[in-house]
Every structure is written in structure tokens, then in C-alpha cells.
Amino acid sequence: MLSGSAVVAFNTDGQAVQNSSSQYAAPYLSGSNGLGFGNPGVPGPDRTTYLTSGANPDTASATVTFSGLQWYVGLLWGSIDTYNTLSLYDGTTLVGFVTGSDVLTSPNGDQGVNGTLYVNINSTLGFDSIVATSNGIYAFEFDNVAYSTPEPSTVLISLVGGSFLALYGIRKRRAAV
């Protein structure tokens, strides 16, 4: 379920790119992960525009800001390295992060089939932005970002449950007086 819109911003040498360079490499498509990326079923580098954090270890980043709180984000993460980090924020508060080491046992920047994965992140805390950074000499590359809020019924159950707890607390205080 897509919820609202998203805006992408870059810091330093982060950018939307195509192909590869000495600093970034297109996510590698194989099997069914190529559907919707311009070359379905054909293994090889992503031929569409993708996002890169840039490679300046102090300031490079790519930020996706959502119009509301999200609890899920998925993305095609290319050439996964130990020094790639995806941070989730609610405003300026860090609510969680995922590193390349969390995604692969031995992340080494492989630019082929073993270095690109579609990563699904479910959070117990809402977030309104994700920030991709790399503290190495190479960038964090990603494409095909998907995101969603909880289903409306989940929010309703949470709100109704909260109301019952609030009513129980009020009733208990009145009984004690």
C-alpha cells in the first residue's frame, strides 16, 4: 500500500544516476528481481535511473522523505558493503538503522548477482524519512523503493485499544476516590 508521496534529496555527491562509475555501481538484476527495472529476465546491471548516496564518507547521502509516517520500506540494495547504512528517522529522531552487515553475512561490494538484494524492513516505530550513507570510498546504491503505513484496520484497533485502556484508567481512579 503506497501511502502519500515521497521526496528525494541529496547531499554532497549523492545523485540519481544511470550506469556505473568508479564511485558507484548499478544494482545487479537477476532472476525475477529485474521485473519493472527495464530488463526483465535479463541478468545484468539495472538500466533505469537509480539513487546513490555518493562516496564522501563525511557528508554524502541520499534521503527519501515521506509525506507521513511509514512502518515498512523495501528497496533494491546494490553492491552491498559493510560501510553502507540505511537510517530511519521520525523527524530528527533516529528510530533504527540497517547496515550492509545486517543484510549479508559477508558484504564485500560484489557488483554481480551475489551483491544485490531486495531488502524489506518492517519497523515497530513509525519513520518519515530514510537516509542512505556510505562511510567508505564507494557509494550506497539503491532503486525501486516501496513503503507503506499500517493497514487502516490496524490503526483503528490500536486507537480503540488505547481508548479502552484510557477508560479503564479513568474508571479505576473514580473507584479509588
Q: What is the pLDDT of residues 5-60, one digit of tens each?
A: 899 999 988 999 999 988 899 999 887 665 666 555 678 888 889 999 998 878 89
User: What is the predicted pLDDT for the residue at 161?
Assistant: 41
Is the distance from CB of 69 to CB of 149 less than 8 angstroms? yes
User: What is the predicted pLDDT for the residue at 159?
Assistant: 44
Q: What is the CA radius of gyration of the chain?
A: 20
User: What is the predicted pLDDT for the residue at 107?
Assistant: 94
What confidence category does residue 145 fall into, taking pLDDT thresholds of 50, 70 and 90?
Answer: very high
Is the distance from CB of 63 to CB of 8 less than 8 angstroms? yes
Half-sphere exposure of 54 (CA within 13 A, CB side): 16
To which H or E segment does residue 114 belong?
none
Does the structure show a pLDDT above 50 at 169? no
Class of domain 6-150: mainly beta
Distances (CA, A) of 53 to 24, 44, 50, 83, 100: 9, 21, 10, 12, 14
| Cα(137)–Cα(99) distance, integer angstroms | 16
User: What is the predicted pLDDT for the residue at 48?
Assistant: 86
Please count the other Cβ atoms lying within 10 Å of the Cβ belonging to residue 129.
Answer: 19
Domains of the chain, by residue range, sit at 6-150
Query: Rounded to a whole number, what is the distance in angstroms from the first to the last CA of the chain?
Result: 48
Q: What is the pLDDT of residues 91-126, one digit of tens each?
A: 999 999 999 999 999 999 999 888 999 899 999 999
| Cα(170)–Cα(103) distance, integer angstroms | 46
User: What is the predicted pLDDT for the residue at 149?
Assistant: 82
Q: Which residue has the higher pLDDT, 88 or 158?
A: 88
